[in-house]
Amino acid sequence: MTGGTDTGASYWYADEGDVRSTAVLEAMRAYRAAEVAMRRRTQQSMDMGENELLVLRFLARASQRNELVTPVHLSRYLGITSASTTALLDRLARSGHITREPHPTDRRSVTIRSSARAEEEIRDTLGAMHERMMSVVRPMAPADRAVVVAFLDAMRDAVDSIDAHES
């Protein structure tokens, strides 16, 4: 560090040659911390846990694509048991955030949809934040967007490939 500026070399494993690279990792770490704080505030304002919010976002995306969602889809997406999924869906149904409807082709199954109330609550809670984020992305040149997407995809792959048993 020179002149009191943080060069980003605060990773314990970084050497002087990694200063520019660690600056990128520091920026990512700061973004992740801000995103975690935002999710916590959202959970508190909507009086929901993380999985409840994940379900509502999943349902919103599925609705935009005209896709049916079953409890099995949600169990797989969240990586939780069917019993945990049922308990989570029961809470969301009691609070008026989802509806269960008979599956149109499988009479043994149900489909899950977010309620109009849930969609309005999400729009009210997350709409302004989403618009602020989009205002950062919209002016980017297409080539810059492509670089950012490729970088984030590569970082996701790097993190996803970490084996919990590696030493």
Q: Domain ranges in the chain?
A: 18-159
Residue where the block lists tokens 């920026």: 27
Average pLDDT of the segment spanning 126-135: 87
pLDDT score of 110 more than 80? yes
The answer as to CATH 1.25.40.10 being correct for domain 18-159 is: no
> pTM of the full predicted structure?
0.65
Residue 1: predicted pLDDT = 40
pLDDT score of 107 more than 90? no
Measured CA to CA, the distance from residue 129 to residue 136 in angstroms comes to: 11
